[in-house]
Amino acid sequence: MSKDQMYGALVFLVSLVVAVAYVSVFIGGYLGVVFLKQLQELAIAIPVVLAVLAVLVILMWIGWTMLTTPPLEEIVPPPETKT
Query: pLDDT (tens digit, 9 = 90+) per residue, 56-73?
Result: 999 999 999 999 988 777
What is the number of structural domains in the chain? 1
Model pLDDT for residues 4-28, shown as the tens digit of each residue: 999 999 999 999 999 998 888 888 7
Q: Is residue 82 part of a domain?
A: no
Q: How far apart are CA 78 and CA 73, in angstroms?
A: 7
pTM of the model as a whole: 0.62
- Range(s) of the domain holding residue 54: 3-68
Domain contains 77: no
* Residue 80 maps to a domain: no
Convert the chain into a string of H (helix), E (strand) and C (coil).
CCHHHHHHHHHHHHHHHHHHHHHHHHHHHHCCCHHHHHHHHHHHHHHHHHHHHHHHHHHHHHHHHHHHCCCHHHHCCCCCCCC
